[in-house]
C-alpha cells in the first residue's frame, strides 16, 4: 500500500481538506502539484528542502516521496554552520525552493541555489500540475533523512524508511482511533517527526483533514475547530494559561502531547478546562513513536502508555542486565521493532554505539515499566538520572515537586559534580516571590529528604529548543 495511501487514491475535491497557513487544497490538487515536482525529481537520490510552514513545503516533500527521492528537511532557522553541515553530510543532489524565492525560477540543473550551497534548485511552483502516476517505491526505501543532535558532535542523519513510517502511522491510527472523519490541528515545526511525520504524512496516509495553523498560538488552536490536536508541553502550558482558548477545545475528540514530558499541573489544568485527559506518547527520531496512551483507555499524568503493535521494550542497568517491570526499577529504555530507523548516515561508529550487544536500540532515556506495561519516562540518562550520595534520583520527580509550588512557573533539575556526593541535585527555577531556601524546604516536605535540591538557582528563563524541550546540557555546562 502507498505510503500516502489516502491522498494517492482520494477523489475528494473539497478544497478545505488540507490547509497550511492561508493556503488550502483538496487531496487530488495536492497530488497534481506534487506530481509536477516528482516529474522534476525523477532519478534524484536525495533532495533537501527548507521546511517553512507553507503549502510549498508540503508539496515539495510529497513530490519527493512520490518520486522515491529521500527528503532531507532543513530547519528554516538553521544557522549557516548547521545548514552547511546538513547539506554536505546528507549528500543532497538538489534543493527544493518555492518558485521565485531568490532563484529567478531556475529549474533543476539550471543554476545553483542563491544561498551559496552550490546545489541545483528545483522550484515548487503551485501553478504547475501533472497527472503522472509514479510507481510506489518499496517499503525499504529511505523516505526521510532527519538530522538529530546528540550530546556531542555535529547532528547525525537518521535514515527512516517508508515502511517504518507507514507502520508507525498505522499503529497510531489504531491507538488513537484516528480516521478520515478527524480534523487534525497543530502548529508544529515541519523538520521533526512530530510535525512532519505525524502532523503531515499522517493525515495524507489516513485521510483526515489537516489544518496547520502556522504559529502555535492558543487563539489559533481555539479557532480551528479540530477534533484531534497535537502539541508539545510548551504549547499546552500556554493554552492552559489561556482559559478561554482552553475551553474552546472541549468539542475536540482527543488532545495529544509529546516530544517532552507534560507537567502534571498542566495535565490537571487542561483536564479541568477542556474536559479532556491528555494522551501522552513517547518516541524519538530514531524509533518514531513506540509507546502511547490509547483513545479508549486510561490516561495517567506523568506516564506515556503502552508499547504500540509490534514494538518491544525493556529496561536495563548500566551493565546491560534486565531490570524488573515493577514500576519502580529505573533503567535505560531499549526498543526493538518495525518502526526503528536504518542507521545513521555515514556514522558506523554511532550506529554501533546505539545498539546493545543483542541488537536492541539504546534510547539513552531512563524509564520505568509497570506490571501492566505502562511506561514512565524519567528523563535522559546523561542528565536526568542523578546519582547522589549512593541514591539514584529521577530529575522529573523533583521537577514535579517544584512545579507544585504556586510561585513556580518552570523548573529543570540536573546533577552537578560534587566532591562528596558525586552529584548534587541542582534546580534551575523560574519563579516569582519565593526564595531558593523556601523551595528546598518545600520539596523536602513532599519527597524523601535525599531528593531535595541542594542548590536552587532562580533564573529568568530556561534554554529550550524549537520543540520546547529544555536544553539541560546547557545548564550542566553552565
pLDDT in tens, 209-236: 999 999 999 999 999 999 999 998 889 9
Is pLDDT larger for residue 383 or for residue 327? 327
Instruction: State mean pLDDT over 187-206.
Output: 96
Mean pLDDT for all residues in the chain: 91
Q: What's the pLDDT band for 105 if we cut at 50, 70, 90?
A: very low
DSSP β-bridge partners for residue 94: 47
Cα 224 to Cα 367: distance, rounded to the nearest angstrom: 35
Kind plus residue range of the DSSP H or E element containing 380:
strand 375-380
Of 365, 354, 286, 376, the closest CA to residue 332 belongs to 365
SS3 of 46-110: the string is: EEEEECCCCHHHHHHHHHHHHHCCEEEEECCCCCHHHHHHHHHHHCCCEEEEECCCCCCCCCCCC
pLDDT of residue 112: 60
472: pLDDT strictly greater than 90: no
Phi/psi at 476 (5° precision): -65, -40
Taking residues 18-34, what's their average pLDDT? 97
The alpha-carbon radius of gyration of the chain (Å, integer) is 23
Report yes or no: 229 and 239 within 8 Å, Cβ to Cβ. Answer: no
* Residues belonging to the chain: 478
Burial of 337 (C-beta count, 10 Å sphere; 0-12/13-18/19+): buried
Model confidence at 103, pLDDT cuts 50, 70, 90, reads very low
What would the mean pLDDT of 153-178 be, rounded to a whole number? 94
Report whether 93 contacts 45 (CB < 8 A): yes
Residue 51: which of 74, 67, 32 has the closest Cα? 74
- Residue 153's pLDDT band (cuts 50, 70, 90): low
Domains of the chain, earliest start first: 5-167 (3.40.50.12780), 385-477 (3.30.300.30)
From CA 196, how far away is CA 182, in angstroms rounded? 18
Q: What 3-state DSSP class applies to 33?
A: helix
User: pLDDT by residue (tens digit) across 415-468?
Assistant: 998 877 878 999 999 999 999 999 999 998 888 788 899 999 999 999 988 767
Phi, psi of 194 (to 5 degrees): -60, -55
Contacts of 344 (CB under 8 A, 6+ apart): 156, 157, 158, 159, 350, 351, 354
Rounded to 10 deg, the angle between the 436-446 and 395-403 helix axes is 110
Q: What pLDDT score does 449 carry? A: 81
pLDDT at 470: 87
What is the pLDDT at residue 148? 86
pLDDT value at residue 259: 83
Strands 18-20 and 209-212, by their bridges, are parallel
Q: Is the confidence at residue 240, as pLDDT, over 90? A: yes
CA distance linking residue 196 with residue 281, whole number of Å: 16
Which residues, listed in sequence order, are joined to residue 218 by a DSSP beta bridge? none
pLDDT above 90 (res 474): no
The residue to which cell 552537578 is assigned: 416
- Region 42-47: mean pLDDT is 95
pTM for the whole structure: 0.84
Phi/psi at 154 (5° precision): -75, 160
- pLDDT > 90: percent of the chain: 75
Amino acid at each position: 500500500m502507498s505510503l500516502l495511501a489516502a491522498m494517492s487514491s482520494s477523489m475528494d475535491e473539497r478544497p478545505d481538506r488540507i490547509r497550511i497557513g492561508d493556503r488550502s487544497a483538496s487531496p487530488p490538487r495536492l497530488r497534481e502539484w506534487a506530481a509536477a515536482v516528482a516529474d522534476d525529481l525523477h532519478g534524484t537520490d536525495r533532495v533537501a528542502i527548507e521546511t517553512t510552514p507553507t503549502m510549498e513545503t508540503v508539496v515539495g516533500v510529497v513530490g519527493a516521496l512520490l518520486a522515491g527521492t529521500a527528503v532531507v528537511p532543513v530547519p528554516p532557522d538553521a544557522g549557516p554552520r548547521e545548514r552547511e553541515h546538513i547539506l554536505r553530510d546528507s549528500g543532497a543532489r538538489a534543493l527544493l525552493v518555492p518558485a521565485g524565492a531568490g532563484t529567478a525560477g531556475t529549474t533543476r540543473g539550471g543554476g545553483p541555489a542563491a544561498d551559496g550551497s552550490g546545489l541545483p534548485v528545483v522550484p515548487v511552483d503551485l501553478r504547475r500540475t501533472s497527472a503522472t502516476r509514479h510507481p510506489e517505491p518499496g517499503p525499504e526505501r529511505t523516505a526521510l533523512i532527519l538530522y538529530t543532535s546528540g550530546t556531542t558532535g555535529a547532528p547525525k542523519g537518521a535514515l527512516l524508511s517508508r515502511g517504518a513510517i507507514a507502520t508507525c502511522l498505522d499503529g497510531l491510527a489504531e491507538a488513537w482511533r484516528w480516521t478520515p472523519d478527524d480534523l487534525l490541528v497543530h502548529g508544529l515545526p515541519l523538520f521533526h517527526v512530530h510535525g512532519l511525520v505525524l502532523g503531515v504524512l499522517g493525515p495524507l496516509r489516513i485521510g483526515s483533514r489537516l489544518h496547520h495553523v502556522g504559529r502555535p498560538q492558543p487563539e489559533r488552536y481555539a479557532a480551528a475547530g479540530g477534533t484531534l490536536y497535537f502539541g508539545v508541553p510548551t504549547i499546552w502550558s500556554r493554552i492552559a494559561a489561556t482559559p478561554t482558548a482552553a475551553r474552546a477545545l472541549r468539542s475536540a475528540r482527543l488532545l495529544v502531547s509529546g516530544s517532552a514530558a507534560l507537567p502534571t499541573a498542566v495535565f490537571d489544568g487542561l483536564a479541568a478546562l477542556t474536559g479532556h485527559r491528555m494522551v501522552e506518547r513517547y518516541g524519538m527520531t530514531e524509533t518514531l513513536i513506540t509507546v502511547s496512551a490509547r483513545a479508549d483507555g486510561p490516561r495517567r499524568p506523568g506516564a506515556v502508555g503502552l508499547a504500540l503493535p509490534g514494538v518491544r521494550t525493556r529496561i536495563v542497568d548500566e551493565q546491560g542486565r534486565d531490570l524488573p517491570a515493577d514500576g519502580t526499577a529505573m533503567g535505560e529504555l531499549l526498543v526493538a521493532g518495525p518502526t526503528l530507523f536504518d542507521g545513521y548516515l555515514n556514522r558506523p561508529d554511532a550506529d554501533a554505539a546505539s545498539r546493545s550487544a543483542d541488537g536492541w536500540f539504546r534510547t539513552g532515556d531512563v524509564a520505568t515499566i509497570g506490571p501492566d506495561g505502562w511506561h514512565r519516562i524519567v528523563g535522559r540518562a546523561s542528565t536526568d538520572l542523578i546519582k547522589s550520595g549512593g541514591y539514584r534520583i529521577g530529575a522529573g520527580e523533583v521537577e514535579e515537586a517544584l512545579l507544585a509550588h504556586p510561585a513556580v512557573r518552570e523548573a529543570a533539575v540536573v546533577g552537578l559534580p560534587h566532591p562528596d556526593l558525586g552529584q548534587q541535585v541542582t534546580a534551575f527555577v523560574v519563579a516569582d516571590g519565593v526564595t531558593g531556601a523556601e523551595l528546598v524546604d518545600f520539596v523536602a516536605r513532599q519527597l524523601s529528604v535525599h531528593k531535595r535540591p541542594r542548590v536552587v538557582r532562580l533564573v529568568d528563563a530556561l534554554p529550550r529548543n524549537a520543540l520546547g524541550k529544555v536544553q539541560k546540557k546547557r545548564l550542566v555546562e553552565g
